[in-house]
A and B are shown apart, each in its own frame.
Chain A
Amino acid sequence: MAEFTLRLRRYLPESGEAAYWQDYTVELEPHRSVLEGILQVRAEQDGTVGIRCSCRAAICGSCGVRINDRAALACHTHLSAAAAGAKDGVIKVEPMGNMPVIKDLITDFEAVHWKKVRRVTPWLLPDGPPPEREYIVAHEAMVDVTQPMACIQCGACVSDCLSMEVDPEFIGPAALAKAYRFVGDPRDGQHFERLQDLAEDPHGIYDCTHCFNCIEACPKGVAPMSQIMRLRRLATADFQIDDRNNGKRHEQAFTELIEKYGTLFEAELLPRSYGGKFHPRALPELLRSLPAILKAVMRGKVTAMKALHHPKLPDQKRVREIFETVEGREQRYDLNLYISGYDDDADDDVPADAKAGDAKAEASA
């Protein structure tokens, strides 16, 4: 047995009182969960502590909270690990972020999470009349969506989403991962419509800043951000959806510039992301950026030379060949490690003791 201090954030909105922290000490085996600690507090010390839970086995997704500033399932976090990661050894537990609090550690899923999930039409919309019996789908065709299917709707990714923190209207990681589950499903007949809807929404797939917080928060390996990137890939490369958010234009401009120059020609990227210097959308956007551009010129960050000319790499031809080879394939090759797994051996080329650069290994050989 060991002693752990839990610092719980207490709050009852209808009381009119501000939220406050309250410390409790529990004695439990270190491998017990934070949830068990909180339940012991509730059973033995203070029956007014509010937390939602059910299965206690990381399956139902009810007990999402923030432990030491990070979203996690309380039932899936050992007391010992939580104490090790805590400042001064005190385990801080508070409700998840980006959602209103109902009481103490209980957040209002209806107000945010479920509303956003419903936003993406989370059911199958097949084309044509249903088959006489069941839909027959090839195994490989469904493997692709198993990652978003692993979601248990715990809201951890929603809690820690940094875009949603400043834009509450962002559809968000959980709902967009759910959207991919249908866009990737061969039985669904509305892939294009779904993608167009999510690409055109100002708070849709192009509102994700790529911060990886949802990947880090998810207890089930769903990697919502990776699903959002797949939605973007399908929307741009496959369906050529020319969205109003400049999502496709930006991706296309960036990729074309690297194909041409090898490194990024930044002065060209901005206007091209708005559709080119002469695109009707570009002028107002560029005017809005003008103060920043002028400052950059004044400070010598950007010179006229740099704005007009960008050198190609010495052997840019080689880079272009890579583009031609890969983009010329009939089908895109996306390796998903969630499905393929990792090689389990330290096989090939490098001796096991040479962790540093290969050259080092060669030098010592």
Chain B
Amino acid sequence: MSIKVAYWPGCVSRGFTPELHGSMAAIAPLLDIELVELDRAACSGAGVIQEHNQELADSLNARTFALAQQVDSATCMMNICSTCQGAQSESQERLDANSDYRDHVNETISREHGLRYRKGLDNKNFLWLLVEEIGLDELRSRVKRPLAGLKVGPFYGCYIVRPADRLGIDEERPRDRYLHQVIEALGGSVIDYAGVYKCCGFPIITMNREVSLQQAGRHLGDAIDADADCLVVPCPLCHLNLDLQQPLAERVIGRDLGMPVLHLPQLVGLALGLEPKELGMSRHVVRPTSVIDWSTAVVGASAP
């Protein structure tokens, strides 16, 4: 049975991390996900527009939500960017909490063909969709090449785990454990290290570069010390600071790193049998050599 989603890829997945958008498109058919892209929707504000003008960010997001609600028979709205998830959840919390405010914002967006956001949208990061809509058993049954022997460090970042109330994290839906669960379902080993729930530092890269890169460098170093082969992230902005900026982070903390960082759809794709190149891994700044070596070793081992 296929799952149809109103798909919001975000800006960065189509900008500086094109391999994220590409790898999501590559694995969607393998998981029977039908992606209906919201190609008219605008940026979520990423916390920056919120900082400038809260109502403006809420209005832009309400418009995106309304567009998603127009997608016929969609299970939910889906994003592949934690920062979008966090920024949109924050807007949605305000819109859903207060009907006067919702009416006020709807008045602004309704000038566009009577567009209107109705309370109660279900907006999920791909990670949540994997666990809650597809299910870990189903995911396990689709694995073609278990990630046996691959030691993966989960890097959740901030926007997808905090604040827990707003993001609907509780005992029933332990969304702050999902990366752990998915890595295991794919056959990999979870590496616990100090940075699992810490901040990549990206939001202040233009304001306080030293502090920003110190954060990225420290978590990468901790993952190396814990013997991880690679990290996996559900957020392209974390990927920018942990991968694209990794050579600069090395200089700031004075330590060689060389830690590959995968997007979540890339890790899933590997286990579903796709090749690193098909998943855009050649576009990473830090070559995911350990992951590629692992994938060829597995292929070599399973050859007759």
Assess whether B98 is in contact with A343, with CB atoms less than 8 Å apart.
yes
Give Cα A344 to B47, complex, Å. Answer: 27
Residues of A within 8 A of B101 (CB): 335, 340
Give Cα A233 to B282, complex, Å. Answer: 40
Residues of B within 8 A of A133 (CB): none
Assess whether A321 is in contact with B111, with CB atoms less than 8 Å apart.
yes
Choose among B40, B49, B94, B207 the residue with the greatest number of A CB atoms under 10 Å from its CB. B207
Assess whether A266 is in contact with B112, with CB atoms less than 8 Å apart.
no
Asked if B122 is an interface residue, CB under 8 A from chain A, the answer is: yes
Give Cα A170 to B215, complex, Å. Answer: 14
Assess whether A315 is in contact with B40, with CB atoms less than 8 Å apart.
yes
Contact of A266 among B11, B42, B203 (CB under 8 A): B11
Give Cα A204 to B63, complex, Å. Answer: 34
Scoring A residues 178 to 204 as 1 if CB is less than 8 Å from chain B, else 0, what string do you get?
000000000000000000000000110
Give Cα A42 to B72, complex, Å. Answer: 63
Asked if A138 is an interface residue, CB under 8 A from chain B, the answer is: no
- A253 to chain B minimum Cβ distance, whole angstroms, is 9
Residues of B within 8 A of A360 (CB): 73-76
Residues of A within 8 A of B209 (CB): 288
Task: Please provide the chain A residues from 189 to 248 with a CB less than 8 Å away from any CB of chain B in the complex.
Answer: 202-203, 206-213, 215-216, 229, 232-233, 236-237, 245-247
Contact of A246 among B111, B199, B207 (CB under 8 A): B207
Assess whether A262 is in contact with B69, with CB atoms less than 8 Å apart.
no
Binds B, one of A58-66, A104-112, A346-354: A346-354
Residues of B within 8 A of A337 (CB): 93-94, 97-98
- B42 to chain A minimum Cβ distance, whole angstroms, is 4
- How many chain A residues sit at the interface, stated as a range, is 35 or more
Asked if B190 is an interface residue, CB under 8 A from chain A, the answer is: no
Give Cα A250 to B207, complex, Å. Answer: 8
Could you list which residues of chain A lie within 8 angstroms of chain B, going by C-beta atoms?
162-163, 165-167, 170, 202-203, 206-213, 215-216, 229, 232-233, 236-237, 245-247, 250-252, 254-255, 258, 262-266, 270, 273-274, 285, 288-289, 291-292, 295-296, 299-302, 306, 313-315, 318-319, 321-323, 325-327, 329, 332-335, 337, 340-343, 347-350, 354-360, 362-363
Q: List 30 A-B contacts (CB under 8 A).
A: A166-B211, A166-B218, A170-B211, A206-B204, A206-B207, A209-B212, A211-B198, A212-B158, A212-B163, A216-B162, A233-B52, A255-B48, A255-B49, A263-B15, A263-B43, A273-B206, A288-B248, A291-B247, A292-B248, A300-B283, A313-B42, A315-B40, A315-B112, A318-B111, A322-B109, A349-B119, A350-B119, A356-B122, A357-B122, A359-B72
Known: A170-B211, A251-B52, A258-B43. 6 other contacts (CB 8 A): A206-B208, A207-B211, A233-B51, A273-B206, A291-B247, A301-B244
